[in-house]
Structure 1
Amino acid sequence: MTIEARQAGETAKEYAYRIIKENIITLELEPGSTLNDMEISQMIGISRTPVREAIIKLKEESDIIEIFPQRGMRIALIDTDIVQEVRFLRMTLEKAMVELACDMAQEADFVWLEENLTLQEFYLKNNLIQKLLELDNALHRKLFTICRKDLIYRMSQGLSIHYDRVRNMEATAIHGHKTVEDHRNLVKAIRDKDKELAKRIMEEHLDRWLMNEQTLRNEYPQYFKS
């Protein structure tokens, strides 16, 4: 597991939740691997109770963790039906966001987006995949912020963990230049107020994992539910 420092004001439960979730998304906690709350509590330096509470929260909001009474816990295998369901949710929300952003984005927003894109291109060039994914997430969140829909974004994040895992796999196994190119084209369409083009780019962008599904299955067969 990758352990980051506890943030100011972060409760023990929030800290455990963030660390476990991030390690699931980055596949440090691999699909199908066992999960031991006592070991995690020792690794991140907090008591077992908030770790257990964080695990239960992840289980309840996304079923990303499977709990077997008296037998232990494990990280759920990748279920493509669930990934498709989450993709549908994101597609519905984010196509609506880019359409709204065409009307609502201000010059300061475009300055932020251009800075983000420049950094994405830098991290892609230097093969810093995790940094690239962080910026990818930040750009998608920014669309909700531009449209003043931050609450909707936060509400959707529980289920997104299923989709984020395959995005991480895709970025690792397949060079991410298409992702950055999509983002660049999307920002241009928003600036040009071309709503139909922006929606089409977002749809193609969120569908890329489908085009690469067999490649991912071949690369990581042990991660997928049959």
Structure 2
Amino acid sequence: MRLTERYSKETGREYALRMLKDNIIHLDLIPGSMLSENELSSEMHLSRTPVREALIELSKVKIVEIYPQKGSAVALIDYNLVEEARFMRNVLECAVVELACKMAGEDAVMKLRENVKLQEFYLENRSPEQLLKLDDEFHRLLFHITGKDQVYQLMDSITIHFDRIRSMSLIAVKDLKTISDHQSMVEAIAAKDGKTAKDVMEKHLSRYKIDEEALRREYPGYFR
């Protein structure tokens, strides 16, 4: 399991939750793998209580399954839950990208373009982890531009099923359309073309359906 430093004001539970989510999304904790509270608490230098609380929190969104007297496991991928998460993102992000077309100034468009340029660099240099980080940052910027930071935080906290598919796509899908989608969105925002921006976002968030065959072929044991 990969660990990053604990934030200065982060509680043990918050740190455990952040680390578990990050490792599940990036497949360091693979679907179907068992989770030991003792091992996790030792790795994260925490007591068992915050780790147990984090696992319970993740079980509420069905990304972790808890078996009484047996332990916990990372849930296998359920495309029904992926679709629910995608639906939420689609509703919110289509509205946000339309709003960005009205509100984004030159500085905001420049930041989006800089982000896409970095995505191109990391695509060429095959760095899926950096690509996912920049992808997240691109979408977060759209919410920031429109003054909807809290909405982004709410959305981000419950779309882990969709995020895991995104992470897998960056590794398994050869003809990746993510960056070209982002480029098209930026150009639509710069042109203040809300309809085009919304159409591109909707297509962008639906690509997981197109990619499902490639993902199942690459990761046959990860799905229900």
Shorter-chain TM-score bucket reads over 0.9
| CA distance in structure 2 between the aligned counterparts of 1:137 and 1:130, rounded to whole angstroms | 11
Deviates more, 1:71-80 or 1:168-177: 168-177
2:81 is paired with a residue whose SS is: helix
> How big is the shift at 1:176?
6.4
| CA distance in structure 2 between the aligned counterparts of 1:221 and 1:92, rounded to whole angstroms | 30
What TM-score do the two structures reach when normalised by structure 2? Answer: 0.96
The answer on 1:164 being equivalent to 2:163 is yes
| CA distance in structure 2 between the aligned counterparts of 1:207 and 1:64, rounded to whole angstroms | 21
> How big is the shift at 1:8?
2.2
Alignment of structure 1 residues 95-106 onto 2, 5 Å: 95-106=94-105
The answer on 1:193 being equivalent to 2:192 is yes
Name the % identity.
49
Q: Is the 8 A contact 1:124 1:176 kept in 2?
A: no
Q: Is the 8 A contact 1:124 1:177 kept in 2?
A: no
| CA distance in structure 1 between the aligned counterparts of 2:127 and 2:112, rounded to whole angstroms | 19
Alignment of structure 1 residues 76-95 onto 2, 5 Å: 76-95=75-94
Equivalent residue for 1:34?
Answer: 34
Letter in 1 for 2:16: A
Alignment of structure 1 residues 10-159 onto 2, 5 Å: 10-60=10-60, 62-159=61-158
Give unpaired runs (5+ residues) of structure 1.
none
What TM-score do the two structures reach when normalised by structure 1? Answer: 0.96
Question: What value does the CA root-mean-square deviation take over the aligned residues?
Answer: 1.1
Q: Is the 8 A contact 2:14 2:54 kept in 1?
A: yes
| CA distance in structure 1 between the aligned counterparts of 2:175 and 2:169, rounded to whole angstroms | 8
Q: Indicate how the Cα distance of structure 1 residues 74 and 121 shifts in structure 2: closer, same or farther if over 3 A, else same.
A: same
| CA distance in structure 2 between the aligned counterparts of 1:162 and 1:103, rounded to whole angstroms | 31
> How big is the shift at 1:23?
0.2
| CA distance in structure 2 between the aligned counterparts of 1:121 and 1:168, rounded to whole angstroms | 16
Q: Is the 8 A contact 1:58 1:158 kept in 2?
A: no
Misfit runs of 4+, over 3 Å: none
| CA distance in structure 2 between the aligned counterparts of 1:58 and 1:108, rounded to whole angstroms | 37
1:222 is paired with a residue whose SS is: coil
1:223 is paired with a residue whose SS is: coil
Q: Deviations over 1:19-65 (max 9, x none)?
A: 110000001101111011110110111111111111112222x1111
Letter in 2 for 1:144: F
Give unpaired runs (5+ residues) of structure 2.
none
| CA distance in structure 1 between the aligned counterparts of 2:69 and 2:12, rounded to whole angstroms | 25
Aligned length: 224
> How big is the shift at 1:118?
1.4
Q: Indicate how the Cα distance of structure 1 residues 176 and 12 shifts in structure 2: closer, same or farther if over 3 A, else same.
A: farther
> How big is the shift at 1:110?
1.4
1:67 is paired with a residue whose SS is: strand
